[in-house]
Homo-oligomer: A and B are copies of this chain.
Amino acid sequence: MNIEKLAETLKVLGDPTRLQIVAMLNIRDLCVCELVPMFSISQPAISRHLSRLRSVELVKETRKGMWVYYSLNRQKLEEVGFSLSHLPDMTERLNELRVKGALPECK
């Protein structure tokens, strides 16, 4: 995952409500009406959080009749962990800057 996308995904995960939703979905798929009573915020607020999680493909929705079930995209979550432990190698970028004289000599 490129660094911009990784940052965007981490930002989505970096909210206590959304991270708890992810932890809940790690146990089993849940419909919105089950998620709402778990938190002390409104249904629309939960809906917006789910929308943000969906926007980075951390969760998937499936409509079943009146209900919408959300499930965790474990692969995406693993990808985040992997990308974090394999950050892009900036050695070359650092060399470029040094060659261009963009780096001061702080001895």
Interface residues of A (CB under 8 A from B): 3-4, 6-16, 18-20, 22-24, 26-28, 31, 33-34, 37-38, 66-67, 77-78, 80-81, 84-85, 87-91, 93-94, 97, 102-104, 106
Majority DSSP secondary structure for residues of A touching B: helix
Assembly CA distance A20 to B97 (angstroms): 15
Given contact pairs A4-B16, A12-B14, A84-B84, enumerate 5 new A-B contacts (beta carbons under 8 Å): A7-B19, A10-B10, A11-B14, A33-B106, A34-B104
User: Given A10-B10, A27-B94 in contact, is the A37-B80 Cβ separation under 8 Å?
Assistant: no
Assembly CA distance A104 to B87 (angstroms): 43
